Amino acid sequence: MFTTTGSRGLYKAPLSKGLLLVLNCLTVMLTLLPQYQELFVYTLQVTQHQVWRLLFGRLICLDVKDAFCSSLLIYNFRIFERRFGTRKFASFLFGTWVLSALMDFLLAQAFQFLFDYEVDELPSGLIAPVFSLVVPFYRLIPSMPVTQVLGHIHITNKSLVYIVGLQLLTSGPFMWLVALSGLISGGLYHSNFLWMQKLLFVPAWVSCIGRYILEPLFSTSQPSSETPVGMGATLDIQRQQRMDILDQQLMLAQYNESTRNTRPQPQPQPGFLQWTRLFPSLRQRGPNRPPMQPRPQAEAPPSTQSPLLDNSPVAEEQVALLVEMGFTRTDALEALRASNNDINMATNFLLQH
């Protein structure tokens, strides 16, 4: 409930899975073989014959703590690979990786000019591209309140990601420089400054090679709740379906409670009463998803406001925004009608399911 990335693991995220497996395995190997760590140190003082240090030093973490935090962030950011596709996700990582290399050098020179201190080594690993993903995460993923701490501090579904990012930011003396480089690179690439998305991208032929060679190695099968069942649902599928229903009920209960806490005199909105009616249609968007069997106590009485919701006007710009995020127009219209044109609530539910 702290994130908006759903509960489907690494399904439809082969690049994220490959990064997690390969980079973490290399980090563990270098931890067990410390005599080879100096070959992968990220240093800005490289000679002509050591350019490879810029490549390996900016991919493999030498600190297990940094590798763990960056892996948590990559796992949470896998939602962008699901929604926008592996090629666009890889292009974003590649573009920000190249831009952050230039930003690292410029920031190091600026720091030396201002404080007369030469920056020689920087934290190793895929740190800057990971921080660059914070930019689309902040701009595209809506915040949904989950609970409150001490009655004043609001905990949202994005709080855990920011806490992990803060932990990674404070893990080294010059981690702030790499993080700032990643944020600047992510902002430039996300805003398509100077048409960078057309200059720095993964070519189609590279994407085809990865699709036929690497994707079968790192692809993840469909979750058990989405796998066709033939003669009937197994116990594991039924248990997963009950957990999904409970997760939906908890999300709605927490949202309603937070709404009552922030609004002293809430006005009744018909859209909020129709989420239970919205669940089956949105969860069965895939062609192979089995019909869900809702629990008897979760059934809601028939609502007399369904014709009003079906005919309620929907802002076309909100529909266009959801379609640009990767959703179908039918799901966007249905979610907006059910949420009474609340774009944040509609987007959050579509991302969860």
The chain-wide mean pLDDT, for the chain, equals 78
Identify the three-state secondary structure at position 145: strand
Higher-scoring residue by pLDDT: 277, 97: 97
Residue 292: closest CA among 332, 328, 239, 338? 239
Q: How confident is the model at residue 335 (pLDDT cuts 50, 70, 90)?
A: confident
CATH number 3.40.50.970 given to 313-352: no
**Tell me, what's the pLDDT at 314?**
79
Is residue 235 predicted with pLDDT exceeding 70? no
Higher-scoring residue by pLDDT: 297, 224: 224
The tokens 């809702």 sit on which residue? 294
Rounded to 5°, the CA angle 52-56-62 comes to 140
Please give the average per-residue pLDDT across 213-229, as a whole number: 69
Please give the average per-residue pLDDT across 157-168, as a whole number: 94
Highest mean pLDDT among 60-64, 154-158, 338-342: 60-64
Q: Is-contact 191 251, C-beta < 8 A?
A: no
Q: What is the pLDDT of residues 87-142, one digit of tens each?
A: 999 999 999 999 999 999 999 999 999 999 999 899 999 999 999 999 999 999 88
Q: What is the pLDDT of residues 47-86, one digit of tens each?
A: 766 777 788 899 999 999 999 999 999 999 999 998 889 9
Is residue 307 predicted with pLDDT exceeding 60? no
Residue 223, phi then psi, degrees to nearest 5: -60, 155
Percent of the chain scoring above 70 in pLDDT = 71
**Tell me, what's the pLDDT at 148?**
83
Amino acid at 14: P
Q: How many helices (H) and strands (E) does the chain have?
A: 18, 4
C-alpha–C-alpha distance, residues 292 and 311, integer Å: 26
Q: How confident is the model at residue 313 (pLDDT cuts 50, 70, 90)?
A: confident
- Which residue intervals of the chain bear CATH 1.20.1540? 14-220
Is residue 241 predicted with pLDDT exceeding 70? no
- Alpha helix positions (H), 78-231: 78-84, 86-115, 127-132, 134-140, 159-169, 175-190, 196-199, 204-209, 215-218
- Which residue intervals of the chain bear CATH 1.10.8.10? 313-352
Is residue 229 predicted with pLDDT exceeding 80? no
Please give the average per-residue pLDDT across 146-169, as a whole number: 88
Higher-scoring residue by pLDDT: 220, 128: 128
Higher-scoring residue by pLDDT: 294, 257: 257
Q: Which fold has domain 14-220?
A: Rhomboid-like fold (1.20.1540)
Please give the average per-residue pLDDT across 172-199, as a whole number: 95
Please give the average per-residue pLDDT across 234-239, as a whole number: 51
Please give the average per-residue pLDDT across 215-239, as a whole number: 59
Is residue 227 predicted with pLDDT exceeding 90? no
Percent of the chain scoring above 90 in pLDDT = 44
**Tell me, what's the pLDDT at 117?**
92
Is residue 273 predicted with pLDDT exceeding 50? no
Please give the average per-residue pLDDT across 246-267, as a whole number: 57
Is residue 311 predicted with pLDDT exceeding 80? no
Tokens encoding 115: 């404080």
